[in-house]
Amino acid sequence: MARPLKNLAEIAVIGGGLAGLAAARQLTRIGRLVTLFEGSGMYGGQVATVEQVDGLGAPGHFSGQDVAIELLEQARKAGARVIDVPIASLEIGARLTITDEEGKTHHPEAVIIASGAHARGLGVPGEEAFVGRGLSHCATCDGGFFRGEDVAVIGGGDAAVTEALVLTRTSRTVYMVCRSPLRAKREYIEKLDAKENVRFLWDSEVTGILGTDGVTGLSLRNVRSGEASEITCAGLFPFIGSEPSAPFISAKFKDKGGYIMTGADYATSDPRVFAVGAVRAGYGGNVAQAMAEGVGAAEAAARLIASRKIRDKIAA
């Protein structure tokens, strides 16, 4: 008798970043019924905004979007079901229940949470009102809107420096607002240091965004001297870290920072629930690692499902 296909989410993957896409692709390859949930429509997650992805171990140059689209298409061709709806809740009881924001419920046998992280805000008054009106988290997407104008990048890590490099091609001046020395890879720092249109504002933090209908400048404070100052700019690109995106799961599965805690096989305290990538405590932030975690969790989830089905057959 053929197996009924009523449970199209035998294993659910929450999140379409590189970790989630890699998990979905691997699950379909090994014959599991998988449903991928991605509510933002931004496949690849934050990496999708990166112009050139490093660390893949493959020859050639690939953008984050290139890698994400390829993984998504491979998963779809292999049979993955993709639902473009955000997750409202994940109930972990005797039965796993995913409720999406359209009110539909799904009952997978296992879940891989790969919902990633979102950019941390500056925490200054009125910040949200400037999103899309001068404030952006993607230089590749929005840098062209500030051609010939002055822009400011906040941060000193890999993301801040690589995005600043993109902006140097079109902007008149790129202000680098840094609280501390740059933490980015040396090769990125050397490239940025060679740009003539970059100006560094050391020991500085943003205390306010100036403007009404859009960004016109920033209020700054020197963290050492306390001295206040202002700069004029039309664009603002904050890259000061990220925060995990998993509001749908109970806090008991998270550490104090909101990251999901897992064991060596990416399983949480409930063996049916896995977490990978930027939402997971202990994730190293490497693109190749994100994809490897997705594959590892997929294999572990598939083994779990197989063992349960074998036990059910024996019991029957």
pLDDT on residue 63: 66
pLDDT on residue 5: 40
- Mean residue pLDDT of the chain comes to 89
Task: Spot the catalytic one: 138, 203, 265, 270.
Answer: 138
Residue 26 has pLDDT above 70, yes or no: yes
Task: Spot the catalytic one: 84, 141, 193, 255.
Answer: 141
**For the segment 58-87, what is each residue's pLDDT rounded down to a tens digit?**
545 666 677 778 888 988 888 899 999 999
Question: What separation in angstroms does the CA of 144 have from each of 52, 114, 130?
Answer: 17, 31, 17
Q: Quick one: average pLDDT of 97-113? A: 95
What the chain holds in terms of domains, given with CATH numbers, is 11-119+242-315 (3.50.50.60), 127-238 (3.50.50.60)
Structural Rg of the chain based on CA atoms: 22
- Report d(CA 200, CA 300) in Å as an integer: 47
- Report d(CA 228, CA 169) in Å as an integer: 30
φ, ψ dihedrals at 175, nearest 5°: -85, 130
Handedness of CA 80, 81, 85, 91 (dihedral sign): negative
Is 233 in the active site?
A: no
Task: Spot the catalytic one: 100, 142, 150, 158.
Answer: 142
Residue 124 has pLDDT above 70, yes or no: yes
Residue 255 has pLDDT above 60, yes or no: yes
**For the segment 176-195, what is each residue's pLDDT rounded down to a tens digit?**
999 999 999 999 999 999 99
Q: Quick one: average pLDDT of 47-63? A: 56
Residue 221 has pLDDT above 70, yes or no: yes
17 CB neighbour count, 10 Å cutoff: 33
- What is the reported pTM? 0.82
55 band by pLDDT with thresholds 50, 70 and 90: low
Is 141 in the active site?
A: yes
**Do residues 242 and 119 touch, judged by C-beta distance below 8 A?**
yes
pLDDT on residue 72: 86
**For the segment 256-315, what is each residue's pLDDT rounded down to a tens digit?**
999 999 998 999 999 999 999 999 999 987 788 888 999 999 999 999 999 877 666 565
